[in-house]
Amino acid sequence: DQELSLITHACYHDDNVNKEFFEIFMNSCHECHNCKCYLYDEQLLAGFSSDDSSLLTRCSYCQFSQLCNININIKQYRQNPNIDKSSRLSLDPDLKNLICNHINTLSIVYYSPLVVRAELEKIIKNHGSMYLNTNEFFKLYPTLFWNLIWYFKRLSLTSSFLYNLPLLLNLPQSAKFLIVCSWEKDDLETQTNRPVAHLHTSPLSGLLFENSVDFVKKVIIPSLKAVQLGNIMAIVSNLMDH
């Protein structure tokens, strides 16, 4: 919701009605081909081997080795020309008041960090580092390109890739982008192992706490704050206490 509010705020408070805004939604959640359990990003990374030529990850539940993918959805948003600027500023930003065009959906193989490094070293050795900012790099090495986007965004690192996306994707240079990395499936209600951030919406939470508000205050919020601070021990301690 926070990510979408950034899109609506930008659209409704920009003077150029014709300006384009793009959302690149990237998801790494993977369903094991063997046991059908959902594997989240940390499990996928832990399942990669130390072989920098292997593209397989091992399921943490059944130990089955398999390829996993990063799924990418690209959407274009623009202001509704039927709503004037004064009206836009007075309205609460809402996606339903924006015009959305679905541009592309693609799925690329999820590379381990070691594979990304090995591929980058080969390309830089053969073409030089400046080659990474060319349109040819995007066209010839799309899987590596999107993996780099994923890792830089996932780790909150700055990168020229993020600034050069309009050029690399053959879009207007003035286009604005929002890149969203997600570790969850869209169909959360059908999952057997739901993410902890969503457990407070489950009827089962009532078995542990008198109400879901207590669950959020005592478990969810402190855990999320600890994640932001990188304090893993605080998360473990909090979960064990409750």
pLDDT (mean) for 210-219: 67
44 lies in a domain?
A: yes
Q: Are 131 and 137 in contact (CB under 8 A)?
A: yes
- For residue 152 the two structure tokens come to 């830089």
pTM value?
Answer: 0.70
Q: What are phi and psi of 179, to 5 degrees?
A: -105, 125
Owning domain of residue 225:
1-188+202-239
170 lies in a domain?
A: yes
60 lies in a domain?
A: yes
- Total residue count of the chain as it appears in this document: 242
pLDDT at residue number 204: 52
pLDDT digits (tens, 9 = 90+) for 133-163: 888 898 899 999 999 999 998 888 877 777 7
Distance CA 131, CA 144 (A): 13
227 lies in a domain?
A: yes
114 lies in a domain?
A: yes
pLDDT at residue number 57: 97
194 lies in a domain?
A: no
pLDDT at residue number 113: 95
pLDDT at residue number 23: 85
193 lies in a domain?
A: no
134 lies in a domain?
A: yes
Number of structural domains (the chain) is 1
pLDDT digits (tens, 9 = 90+) for 18-40: 567 888 899 999 999 999 999 99
pLDDT digits (tens, 9 = 90+) for 172-199: 777 778 888 887 776 555 555 555 555 5
Is the predicted pLDDT of residue 58 greater than 70, yes or no?
yes
- For residue 167 the two structure tokens come to 């050029």
Distance CA 150, CA 72 (A): 10
User: Quick one: which of 131, 113, 16 has its CA closest to 57?
Assistant: 113
